[in-house]
């Protein structure tokens, strides 16, 4: 295993930590829960996460100490545990910062009051606000209008996607109108933005009055053929700033400025007593008769700051050893969507280069994705056609379908686990000799990638490191949503993007907003020189926007090639965020997102495979000081139904050899459970009452050997390490 990896680490990393220390949330009882909830910073964090729970919490804190509302206490306990054990950034519960790789580890946190916070208005509210503003005829007259970014022409029709809000969710519909020179001229006139009055004046003819022309322009706007300058955007300036700068009404601008000033006061106030400010902003926010949902009004991000923040380069060397092993264990991945597309494209278009919109059109083209195999999946009419199709279950998980049955790795793990059971071992130790005959290949790895690691404990010899996977289409995937939080994060992302650029192709950012609230995690700075806007607005100059109508597609030597007609250059679409695009039914967006990783492996992770996937227990898997997989217990309903009392829980835990500390795993949500703590046990019994199944994983963080401490108290950690190809 001495083969030199041809990827080298960036000299920076992202460190993610919870707001509270582990010691503050460990071994809690009802009184300690009360004490923590009185803390203004904790109270504010809970308010932002759940205003309704916060209201109940305030009532609870005013009642007698003997009055114990168990259900409420459990709800508060979950949030407190999240605030001390989980590192994934979420409101004021946890945050991130940039550190540097050096010759030794030296991590010293600032006092919590010195943490930096950035509060924005939630995209859910901003999208509702923009809709309300656009419905006002006076405000409409002030705005500029542009062609819908999804427009394309098929024969005698012009097609585009419009969206409607149904129960607060965006629902997309494929629409069509008759193509004509008249419409073409209008759209061309609007390419650089145009007011309603200017466009109406352009339309006027002897038989068309100004009023008739104006009404026609409003029809184009109402049908979303024309999109306003305040339509949602997810790249560039904060969307609220876009609204504040584009709307000219003095009354509304005054309200916007009030909100902006109060948000700045909010972020400058480090005492945590901001509830009055939130209420004031909420009151201003409802000025246009918009229903304000407190839970979805604010989007807050936390920048945890440090006096010192450096990580020993020796740890990175250990991680690189782990990356090599994960690379060897990686199974071949098939992208059935792309394979299916290539097959159909070759059959239909052969060596021809055609417009992307034509190729993906679900009626005249070949569509995209397994759901389009049946020609009845879509129908096109001049009325509304819903294109929200069902995603096959195998694709909902966000990963390509894997073939792992009877692989060398599967056999290796099977033999190891059988041997482990025979010897009553709790850990499978992988060794170098186990991988004889396993090939290590980096040729198909993207130009940059990242890996999230945890350091469970430090030791004089080697730290215990958790590394379950690495990958991504770009190392910016996990970072971009925080580009506005701290200039150091933004500068780090810029370094990553520079390593990905190529003189032979245009790397273009995909700009798309699938749902309003998703915009909170999709919003990012302008990261690349070019963007492909699709049902979202780009803030880049027009000559650096690549509309769908500009993109051509062909098949060359089994590879899908996109080309810009205007730039006459290959285009590589990039989605620099962590959005699960597999859940999006829009063919063009899904296609662009899929081909960013064609002929490459964007995910390497430990996988038990289908041989052992149904086991009730799987042991920890390690290589040297690297933990690839945590010990896991899969509990079914029959087993859970037998756990009703503390005595039954204790007996079950002993029989199953369950450790004192575990995590409940629920998709991306982890909840810390301490079976030595009475309140934690009661919460566990309450949680499992109506569960059909449950996954538990061991919790290995050791507060006595913690890498990071704050006032002698242990702090959980996650490091995002990023790597780039040495020669591109």
Encode pLDDT of 4-58 as tens digits: 558 999 999 999 999 999 999 999 999 999 999 999 999 999 999 999 999 999 9
Give the mean model confidence (pLDDT) for residues 435-445.
89
Among candidates 25, 75, 31, 73, which has minimal Cα distance to 674?
25
Place of tokens 């400025």: 257
* Residue of higher predicted confidence among 328 and 398: 328
- 269 near 80, Cβ under 8 Å? no
Which of 63-77, 79-93, 96-110, 684-698 has the lowest average pLDDT? 63-77
pLDDT at 381 over 70: no
pLDDT in tens, 100-156: 999 999 999 999 999 999 999 999 999 999 999 999 999 999 999 999 999 999 989
pLDDT of 411 strictly over 80:
no
Taking 60 as the threshold, does the pLDDT of residue 397 lie above it? Answer: no
Read off the pLDDT of residues 165-183 as tens digits, 9 standing for 90 and up. 887 788 999 999 999 999 9
Question: What's the pTM?
Answer: 0.92
Whole-number Cα distances in Å, 135 to 143, 294, 327, 331: 12, 23, 54, 53
Mean pLDDT on 458-483? 94
More confident residue, 5 or 363: 363
User: Which of 600, 321, 623 has the alpha carbon at shortest distance from 442?
Assistant: 600
- Cα–Cα distance for residue pair 581/588, rounded to 1 Å: 11
Sign of CA dihedral 389, 232, 234, 518: negative
Assign 612 a pLDDT band (cuts: 50, 70, 90). Answer: low
Q: How far apart are CA 716 and CA 697, in angstroms?
A: 17
Q: pLDDT averaged over the chain?
A: 90
C-alpha span between 267 and 673 (Å, rounded):
33
Mean pLDDT, range 314-325, rounded to an integer: 97
The pLDDT value recorded for residue 424 is 60
Residues in the chain, how many? Answer: 728
Confidence label for 600 from pLDDT (cuts 50, 70 and 90): confident
Per-residue pLDDT, 385: 33
Which of residues 168 and 654 earns the better pLDDT score? Answer: 654
- Find the DSSP H helices in 355-473: 356-360, 393-396, 408-422
The confidence band for 346, taking pLDDT boundaries of 50, 70 and 90, is very high
- For range 254-282, the mean pLDDT: 92
Q: Provide DSSP, 217-269.
A: HHHHHHTTSEEETTS---BSS-HHHHHHHH---HHHHHHHHHHHHHHHHHHH-
Distance separating alpha carbons of residues 170 and 152, to the nearest angstrom: 21
Mean pLDDT along residues 498-509: 94
Q: b/e per residue, 668-696, with b = 16+ CB within 10 A?
A: eebbbbbbebebbbbbbbebbeeeeebeb
DSSP assignment letter at 440: P
373: pLDDT strictly greater than 50: no
DSSP 659-722: -SEEEEEETTEEEEEETTSHHHHHHHHHHTTT-SEEEEEE----GGG-SEEETTEEE--EEEEE
Q: What is the mean pLDDT of residues 708-715?
A: 96
Kindly state the average pLDDT of the residues 644-671: 95
Q: What's the average model confidence in pLDDT over 264-288?
A: 89
H/E stretch holding 102 reads: strand 94-102
Average pLDDT over residues 470-495: 97
Q: How far is CA 216 from CA 190, 212, 226, in A?
A: 14, 6, 11
At 393 the pLDDT is: 34
Cα 612 to Cα 615: distance, rounded to the nearest angstrom: 6
Dmax over CA atoms of the chain, in Å, equals 94
Contact 706, 22 (CB under 8 A): yes
Q: 213 by DSSP, 3-state: which?
A: helix
Question: What average pLDDT score do residues 382-393 get?
Answer: 30
Backbone angles phi, psi at 466, to 5 degrees: -100, 120
Closest CA to 120 of 267, 277, 232, 338: 267
Q: What is the pLDDT of residue 406?
A: 53
pLDDT band at 423 (very low <50, low <70, confident <90, very high): low
> Pairing mode, if any, of strands 626-629 and 464-467?
parallel
Whether the Cβ atoms of residue 8 and residue 723 lie closer than 8 Å to each other: yes
Give the pLDDT of residue 421.
Answer: 63
Helix H, strand E, coil C: the string for 258-288 is HHHHHHHHHHHCCCCCCHHHHHHHHHHHCCC
pLDDT band at 383 (very low <50, low <70, confident <90, very high): very low
Which pLDDT value is given to residue 403?
36
Segment (H or E) for 473: none
% of the chain at pLDDT higher than 70? 93
């Amino acid at each position: 295993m001495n083969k030199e990896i041809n990827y080298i680490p960036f000299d920076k990393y992202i460190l993610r930590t919870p707001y509270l220390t582990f010691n503050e949330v460990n071994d809690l009882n009802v009184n300690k829960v009360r004490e923590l909830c009185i803390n203004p910073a904790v109270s504010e964090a809970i308010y932002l996460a759940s205003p309704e729970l916060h209201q109940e919490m305030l009532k609870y804190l005013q009642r007698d100490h003997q009055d114990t509302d168990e259900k409420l206490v459990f709800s508060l306990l979950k949030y407190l545990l999240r605030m001390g054990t989980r590192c994934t950034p979420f409101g004021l519960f946890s945050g991130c910062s940039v550190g540097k790789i050096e010759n030794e580890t030296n991590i010293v946190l600032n006092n919590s009051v010195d943490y930096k916070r950035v509060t924005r208005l939630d995209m859910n509210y901003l999208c509702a606000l923009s809709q309300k503003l656009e419905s006002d005829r006076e405000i409409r007259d002030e705005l500029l209008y542009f062609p819908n970014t999804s427009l394309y022409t098929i024969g005698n029709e012009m097609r585009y996607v419009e969206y409607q809000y149904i129960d607060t969710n965006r629902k997309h519909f494929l629409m069509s109108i008759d193509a004509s020179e008249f419409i073409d001229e209008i759209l061309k006139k609007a390419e650089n933005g145009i007011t309603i009055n200017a466009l109406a004046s352009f339309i006027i003819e002897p038989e068309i009055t100004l009023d008739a022309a104006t009404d026609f322009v409003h029809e184009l706007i109402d049908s979303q053929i024309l999109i306003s300058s305040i339509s949602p955007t997810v790249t560039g300036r904060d969307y609220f700033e876009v609204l504040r700068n584009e709307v000219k009404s003095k009354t509304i601008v005054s309200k916007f400025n009030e909100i902006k000033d109060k948000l700045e006061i909010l972020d400058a106030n480090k005492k945590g007593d901001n509830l009055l400010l939130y209420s004031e902003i909420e009151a201003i926010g409802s000025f246009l008769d918009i229903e304000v949902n407190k839970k979805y009004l604010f989007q807050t991000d936390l920048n945890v700051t440090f006096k010192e923040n450096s990580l020993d380069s020796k740890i990175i060397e250990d991680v690189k050893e782990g990356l090599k092993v994960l690379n060897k264990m990686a199974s071949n991945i098939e992208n059935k969507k792309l394979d299916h597309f290539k097959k159909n494209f070759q059959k239909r278009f052969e060596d021809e280069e055609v417009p992307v919109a034509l190729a993906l059109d679900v009626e005249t083209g070949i569509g995209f994705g397994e759901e389009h195999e049946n020609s009845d999946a879509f129908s096109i009419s001049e009325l509304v056609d819903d294109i929200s199709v069902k995603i096959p279950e195998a694709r909902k998980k966000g990963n390509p379908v894997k073939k792992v049955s009877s692989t060398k790795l599967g056999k290796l793990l099977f033999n190891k686990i059988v041997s482990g059971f025979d010897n009553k071992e709790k850990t499978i130790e992988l060794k170098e000799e186990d991988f004889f005959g396993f090939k290590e290949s980096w040729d198909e790895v993207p130009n940059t990638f990242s890996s999230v690691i945890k350091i469970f404990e430090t030791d004089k010899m080697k730290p215990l490191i958790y590394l379950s996977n690495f990958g991504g289409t770009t190392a910016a995937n996990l970072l971009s949503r925080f580009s506005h939080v701290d200039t150091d994060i933004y500068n780090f992302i810029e370094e990553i993007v520079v390593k990905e650029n190529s003189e032979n192709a245009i790397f273009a950012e995909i700009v798309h907003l699938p749902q309003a609230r998703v915009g909170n995690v999709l919003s990012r700075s302008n990261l690349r020189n070019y963007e492909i806007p699709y049902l979202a607005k780009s803030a880049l100059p027009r000559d650096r926007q690549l509309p769908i109508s500009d993109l051509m597609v062909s098949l060359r030597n089994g590879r899908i090639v996109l080309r810009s007609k205007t730039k006459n250059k290959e285009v590589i679409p990039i989605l620099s965020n962590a959005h699960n695009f597999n859940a999006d039914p829009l063919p063009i967006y899904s296609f662009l997102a899929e081909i960013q990783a064609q002929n490459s492996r964007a995910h390497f992770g430990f996988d038990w495979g289908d041989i052992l996937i149904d086991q009730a227990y799987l042991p920890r898997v390690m290589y040297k000081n690297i933990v690839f997989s945590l010990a896991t217990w899969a509990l079914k309903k029959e087993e859970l139904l037998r756990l009703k009392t503390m005595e039954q829980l204790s007996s079950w835990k002993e029989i199953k050899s369950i450790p004192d500390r575990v995590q409940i795993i629920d998709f991306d949500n982890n909840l810390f459970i301490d079976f030595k703590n009475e309140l934690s046990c009661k919460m566990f019994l309450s949680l499992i009452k109506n569960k059909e199944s449950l996954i538990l994983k061991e919790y290995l963080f050791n507060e006595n050997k913690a890498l990071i401490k704050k006032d002698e108290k242990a702090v959980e950690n996650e490091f995002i390490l990023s790597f780039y190809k040495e020669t591109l």
